Amino acid sequence: MAEEVVAEIVASVLEVVVTPGQAVDTGDTLVLLESMKMEIPVLAEEPGTISDVKVAVGDVIQAGDLIAVID
């Protein structure tokens, strides 16, 4: 079953670390967010393959926005 990775806070996307088709393990960084001058990594909660990345550098995302999908 696919895992949808969603934002927990309002933030700007500083870096997108993964690409579709890339294998990830639990704890791997998917994207790096910035909020209130703090850098916050978004980590994979389960191993799998990135099937889609929904954000790009510079995007401002809201809590609940889809960041990536892991199959």
Q: Tell me what pLDDT residue 16 has.
A: 98
Burial of 69 (0-12, 13-18, 19+ CB in 10 A): middle
User: Chain centroid to CA 2: how far?
Assistant: 14
Q: Tell me what pLDDT residue 1 has.
A: 73
**CATH number of the domain bearing residue 36:** 2.40.50.100
Range of the domain at 30: 3-70
Q: What is the pLDDT of residues 20-60, one digit of tens each?
A: 999 999 999 999 999 999 999 999 999 999 999 999 999 99
Q: Total domain count for the chain?
A: 1
Q: Tell me what pLDDT residue 26 has.
A: 97
